[in-house]
Amino acid sequence: MRYNEKELLCLSRQRAEKAAELGMRGPKKGSVLKKRLVKLVVNFLFYFRIDEEEPIGALLLEHCRVSKEDEKGFSIHFIDEPEKKYMFECSSQEQCVEWVEALTNASYEFMRRSLMFYRNEILKMTGKDPLEQYGISGESRFQLENASL
């Protein structure tokens, strides 16, 4: 994926949908659990050293799986690299459940499926495409019909 570092840095400074200090272990063998500030902004998960303002990394939450590992832990792995897991440890079971839900719902894929579902439901109820007023193309309407099959 191509990205502009300045834009990514600017995005990391935006208001987070969720942020907390979590234990984090990278996918490298022998990696140890370290305390990181973790911020969810749109569909990026940024992670920072606790005392620094610039992120040391970011995960684009697309084509990935978020899995609860144990009572307080969850992992993220990417579909094309299932052997590489990022592990996270929360301070409570409740916090872990909240993070898993937030990360699962953050992907473009999830948002698109939700849009298509609600668009189809409104179309069934009213007989009108709710996005027609915004000039959504016929191709998009075609995708709606296929999504309901």
Average pLDDT along the chain:
86
Pairing of strands 81-89, 73-78: antiparallel
What confidence tens digit (pLDDT) does each residue in 121-131 have? 888 898 888 87
- pLDDT (mean) for 60-67: 91
Number of helices (H) and strands (E), helices first, in the chain? 4, 7
- pTM beyond 0.85: the answer is no
| CATH class of the domain at 5-106 | mainly beta
**In the chain, where are the structural domains located?**
5-106, 110-147
6-32 burial, b at 16+ Cβ within 10 Å, e below that, comes to eeeeebbeeebebebebbbbbeeeeee
Helices 138-147 and 108-126 pack at an angle, to 10 degrees, of: 90
85 neighbors 39 (Cβ within 8 angstroms): no
